[in-house]
Amino acid sequence: MLKISFLFCFIVALFVFVVNGSVHEQEVGIYELKKGNFSVKFTNWGATIISLVLPDKTGKLADIALGYDSIKEYMNDTTYFGAIVGRVANRIGGAQFTLNGTHYKLVANEGKNMLHGGPKGFSDVVWKVKTHEKDGQSPCITFIYHSADGEEGFPGNLLVRVTYALTGPYKLSVKMRAKALNKATPVNLAQHTYWNLGGHNSGDILSDDIQIFASHVTPTDKNLIPTGNIVSVKGTPYDFLSPHPIKSKINGLPMGYDINYVLDSNRGDYRMKPAATVHHKKSGRVMELSTNAPGVQFYTGNYIKDLKGKGGYVYQAHAGLCLETQGFPDSVNHPNFPSQIVTPGKTYKHNMLYSFSIKIE
């Protein structure tokens, strides 16, 4: 577990930047939300979840979010542990797109493609802490970030806000908002925590049961860029319409899971709907995720190798799983995918709700 003696605003770094000719200092700190024996810690570097602690079926507390001991390690991180990623999460093929007749060339950071907003996406910037209520009836924290026109190649100024709140017993709400200030621009934010319900240092997640409320996926090419097709999961390793252990199907894949699921909804709109449920039998912990986003990326930490994490524990492949609710990857280059374009005067709204509980068999 992350050992921090300062639970509020421990200053680990100062960043100097210039706005309108004047110099400003931005503090990077650690912040906590707490409700009983349920606690979540964050840093405003990347608006990142750095720990989430809750009990198991015996009452034993554990931190179920993979991460590091120091903020410096988050600053050098390449796995996106716990961060908000954007301006556009996931991949953009060729690191380019055309919008309203203008061609935009982005900053590639995965071969010729862009991943999670580029070399300096929202996970690698300092967010301002707008509000923070550590405990009480409604513990919450709001981070804001102003993304400048041309940042990583994206058009227009964008004002982004993320609010984390403990909304009930063992419930964590995430609300992401973005306003295009002067130009239309793609926006697709995602929360990128790696979860291990047994505890971040408990081994792999392959024995966890998972159910994903999606009948279709968006298949990809060898570079994980969507082909533009939407195909059924029936008869494939991607079928988790009913709960199954992750390991029961993963052998049919060369590396593991890393694909966007098209969430089922009879409404055809962006109201909240179930996305996935994960159950760790040994601890009894259950995580239920709901969202208003059209998709969720299921990723099983395939590329983690010999990565030193909290308390010196060394993470390996499949040490955690990600369930990144999102718009479809590369939607800017696939007109048949739900649009992620935000125009001035409109607000991007992306909601998530994590509900944790105990199941005793």
Active site residues: 192, 324
Measuring CA to CA, how many Å separate 242 from each of 141, 212, 245, 276? 35, 8, 10, 10
- Known binder of ligand: residue 90? yes
Phi, psi angle pair for 74, to nearest 5°: -65, -35
- Known binder of ligand: residue 258? yes
Measuring CA to CA, how many Å separate 114 from each of 43, 107, 133, 294, 353? 25, 7, 36, 21, 28
ω into 87 cis (within 30 of 0) = yes
SS3 3: coil
SS3 315: strand
Q: Which of 301, 208, 288, 194 is nearest to 246 (CA)?
A: 208
- Known binder of ligand: residue 194? yes
- Known binder of ligand: residue 91? yes
Non-local (6+) Cβ contacts of 244 within 8 A are 209, 210, 211
Q: Which of 90, 110, 80 is nearest to 331 (CA)?
A: 90
- Known binder of ligand: residue 192? yes
- Known binder of ligand: residue 37? no
Positions at the binding site for beta-D-galactose? 90-91, 192-194, 258
Positions at the binding site? 90-91, 192-194, 258
